[in-house]
Amino acid sequence: MPLDLTPLSADHFDDWLEATRARLVTLRQESGMFVGEDAGSHVDAVLGDLLSAGHETETSLILTIGEEGTRIGTVWLAANSGVLIIVDLAFAIDPTARQLDELLDELRSLARRQHVGRLSIALHSSDIAGRAFVEGRGFEVASIQMLLEPLPSRAPRASGGLVVTPMTPERFTSFAAASEAAFAEDLVSSGRYSAEDAVVESHRQMELELPEGIDSDGQELFTAHVDGAEVGVLWIGVRRRGGRPHAFILDIEIASDQRRKGYGRDLMLAAEHEAARLGADSIGLHVFGFNTSAITLYESLGYRRVEERFLRTV
């Protein structure tokens, strides 16, 4: 008998919300993406944004997953930019492979009825059940959040000759334009956005991070040189994590004609050095799934995956 997906009733919403909040907080804490009360604050912001009208929020759909009268779990859905987003997938029992296959079939059918071309789900490293759902079912990694904690006590490699200095206002102008354009291209390549939506999203994030340009608070921008010639750029945003400074690499780039010379590793080590100088004892970054060479580099330096977003064509 096929699975039965039915809208969550209003009288069960409060219980679902309480359990979902607790689950999402735990996943963030267990993965290490957030520390202590930071996890709760982040989850509350997400819930407030995506469920602004509670059970009556028109942009969210919460479904109960059942089979022959047995409640298997719930799935919370939202749609954006041609993508059906699985915001949360929670199981009350350990689902069988057949049940996971049928759940995917039901979600694909729902997406097609809504004229949506892709499914998306973000999973923390500790979400074993969610990972069982995506494994072997055609999902691909679209993007990864990575974390290095604590910062290792290793200095920048002196033998590489790479020197990092604060970016000048003159260099910032061309950097900002190139960074915004490159990020838009990466959003399209990741499969998460259309070309038009990617331009809008990239500009939105640039304005959010750099409202005052190079003088924006909490933003550290650098150029990297070897023998006086620029070979790359580095942009670090200073966040708070567990009440302490946390460095987040917003952009790191080696010039195309300077790659495969070890400068990428040198610049990552320089980023660690700058993070420590800023008082941080952890550093994070975001990388797109198609950038396999960068992922290999980061993992070789000890970065671990704390959250991955998966995409699947319907």
Q: Given this model, what pLDDT does residue 191 score? A: 80
Residue 278 has pLDDT above 70, yes or no: yes
The model's pLDDT over 77-98, given as tens digits with 9 standing for 90+, comes to 998 878 999 999 999 999 999 9
Q: Given this model, what pLDDT does residue 189 score? A: 84
Q: Given this model, what pLDDT does residue 80 score? A: 82
**Cα angle 148, 191, 298; round to 5:** 20
Six token digits for residue 243: 């009440």
Q: Given this model, what pLDDT does residue 193 score? A: 84
**Mean pLDDT in the chain?**
94
Q: Given this model, what pLDDT does residue 1 score? A: 63
Contact present, 175 and 221 (Cβ < 8 Å): yes
The model's pLDDT over 124-150, given as tens digits with 9 standing for 90+, comes to 999 999 999 999 999 999 999 999 999
The model's pLDDT over 174-219, given as tens digits with 9 standing for 90+, comes to 999 999 999 999 988 888 788 999 999 999 999 999 999 999 999 9
Residue 159 has pLDDT above 60, yes or no: no
Q: Given this model, what pLDDT does residue 154 score? A: 81
**Domain 158-308 maps to which CATH number in 3.40.50.20, 3.40.190.10, 3.20.20.70, 3.40.630.30?**
3.40.630.30
**Domain 4-138 maps to which CATH number in 3.40.50.20, 3.40.630.30, 3.30.40.10, 3.40.50.720?**
3.40.630.30
Q: What percent of the chain has pLDDT over 90?
A: 89
Q: Given this model, what pLDDT does residue 91 score? A: 96
Q: Given this model, what pLDDT does residue 254 score? A: 96
Amino acid type, 180: E
As annotated, the residues of the chain forming the CATH 3.40.630.30 domain(s) are 4-138, 158-308
The model's pLDDT over 222-244, given as tens digits with 9 standing for 90+, comes to 999 999 999 999 999 999 999 99
pLDDT category at 269 given cuts 50, 70, 90 is very high
Q: Given this model, what pLDDT does residue 156 score? A: 65
Which of 190, 151, 146 lies closest to 274 in space, CA to CA?
151
Which of 136, 139, 106 lies closest to 122 in space, CA to CA?
139
